[in-house]
Structure 1
């Protein structure tokens, strides 16, 4: 699906500060303070990340590609699979402790968070793939055309009605603009490994 078509068909969870189509790319500027988090450890609730969602079938995969050219604390971009404000998965690259980290937040009432450093991905195109099948979403990520890395297997009820699409947010600053280069829907992965 072209990014222009996604922009026409998708719905924003929270409208970003700015959106611009530039040829085949979509530039999204996040609002300062935007985030997605439910309670755990920090005690705060944020439900204002900028996710542009289209319906996701019970057996479907989605991929989001973006340029990793941001570097401020907690800047982040990737893919979101969302049922509602208390049931969602966001996966991508978030800057934490001075380095880009590939990771996931899975929220089922409360959020959890897992990360792994990927400083070698700086300046490259990163693709995050969420594959939904059965009672789970399997998330993989890679830079350029490198092999996929398994990021997370998260539970999701087969009957859940969810949307999927690119997301970004900037909890700590104004001026984050993420360059999204691709969004696609296709068949789910046939195996976990």
Structure 2
């Protein structure tokens, strides 16, 4: 992935409320979101998993069931990197607390065979 091909996923405020979503860029970007007004103040986990030619994004608050956020195509031969990121592009006051970061094999439960 590079400056022309990238994906970001997480929670952001849009239309005045928190939204879980993803931006997928392959020359052009598209954005998908879903409102999560019940998530502020809770521990949110975003899981990105790669298998075959797909990148699967899921998220949850606390120990709730995983919600599918996005499935995006990804060239199986493409090199990819990942890491935490936060920003407040138009004003100050954003407070974000990262409580963990892990990298490992794709979760087989997210990519069932058959």
TM-score over 0.5 (shorter chain): yes
In the TM superposition, 1:11-160 aligns within 5 A as 83-160=1-78
Measured in 1, the distance between the counterparts of 2:95 and 2:35 equals 21
Whose strand proportion is higher, 1 or 2? 1
Measured in 2, the distance between the counterparts of 1:109 and 1:125 equals 33
Which of 80, 83, 88 is the equivalent residue of 1:162? 80
Measured in 1, the distance between the counterparts of 2:73 and 2:107 equals 15
Measured in 2, the distance between the counterparts of 1:186 and 1:162 equals 13
Structural RMSD (CA): 1.3
Aligned residues: 111
Greater RCO (CA < 8 Å, at least 6 residues apart): 1
2:101 matches 1:183: yes
The answer to whether the 8 A contact 2:51-2:111 is kept is no
Secondary structure of the residue aligned to 2:38 is helix
Measured in 2, the distance between the counterparts of 1:108 and 1:115 equals 18
Gaps of 5+ in 2: none
Secondary structure of the residue aligned to 2:90 is coil
